[in-house]
Structure 1
């Protein structure tokens, strides 16, 4: 015999509205990671996205996008009819979604921090009005940190995008968290980490006061020949110069987020 408690739970479960959507017909050439990132940014405008799962392989691959509230899932479903994603028409259906507790899941935006694998000191700002000026961008983004340079790229007669280089990664993270989805002029901007150009110089931040140039040369020398290192004691930063770009890039990939003298380096 079923207890009244389990009977009630079953009734509530059957009455629960869908918390997610199932996206099918995904482009074959896109990786799981790019699909997750793309779907998150595409659907977060409809509400709080709690998870994006990409399942299956090849033509059978599909994604489940889950929301915090069922009404947000309903809005996303309605907005997805005849929708194009990455140049391909997708098919979207309601899905029960994945119900996740706050303490069990960090939503995608919470992963946007100084230790993100793609984190750089450069902020990408997309979907800008064609007439946007350097001063306008500086005025909008200077409150998040020291701006080193702003590079605007015009895209024909349609729109523009820009790269805003800050003095540190923390400023980029602040910008991403505060300005994502905001408008500059009539356009809703798109933000992300800008790609850094490969050089033979590795930039470090959040250094411990006890770190020395000698220690840095020893630690990073494991990845290739280091010519010298320079530390800015006032700001807790350092520059490490390798003899080649390849070894410098290897060191960046290996040392990102490592603990050095009890502090997690950036």
Structure 2
């Protein structure tokens, strides 16, 4: 677990890099302790609450490669919930459709469709081991 305060950064453009985000956040909030960059979002770890407050105030809505990023405190997953990964979802599927499908099994707290998710094929002889 990284020390410090973790921020959620949403609406991250595909062409953005971890280095670019690090420079952006360090210029506003001081040292960046770590960055986890996914396709459309990232988590940025900053030193303290004051640094996080500066980053939220100055970077929420900031234009990055033509997109306005969202910067907010990272919220932990609610207790008594679990997160599942659903693969092989059609590119045409929306988060609303996926939510509706799973809602019949219980309350859906969060539902995101991440486009362009990379996957690796596993040879049949290895599938039994997994």
Q: Structure 1-normalised TM-score?
A: 0.26
Report deviation, 1:196.
5.4
Q: Does 1:173 align with 2:53?
A: yes
Matched with 2:65 is 185
Structure (1 or 2) with the larger CA radius of gyration: 1
Q: Which of 9, 20, 38 is the matching residue for 1:136?
A: 20
Q: Which has the higher strand share?
A: 1
Aligned 8 A contact 1:124 1:192 in 2: yes
Deviations 1:205-238 (A, max 9, x none): xxxxxxxxxxxxxxxxxxxxxxxxxxxxxxxxxx
Alignment: residue pair count: 73
Higher relative contact order (CA 8 A, sep 6+): 2
Q: Does 1:152 align with 2:37?
A: yes
Alignment root-mean-square deviation, CA: 1.7
Q: 1:196 to 1:165 in 2, by over 3 A?
A: farther
Report deviation, 1:137.
0.2
**Equivalences for residues 21-36 of structure 1 within 5 A:** none
Report deviation, 1:153.
1.3
CA distance, structure 2, for counterparts of residue 148 and residue 134 of structure 1:
12
Which segments of 5 or more consecutive residues in structure 2 lack a partner in the other structure? 78-130
| Structure 1 consecutive aligned stretches of length 4 or more whose deviation exceeds 3 Å | none
Aligned 8 A contact 1:126 1:190 in 2: yes
Deviations 1:76-106 (A, max 9, x none): xxxxxxxxxxxxxxxxxxxxxxxxxxxxxxx
CA distance, structure 1, for counterparts of residue 64 and residue 72 of structure 2:
16
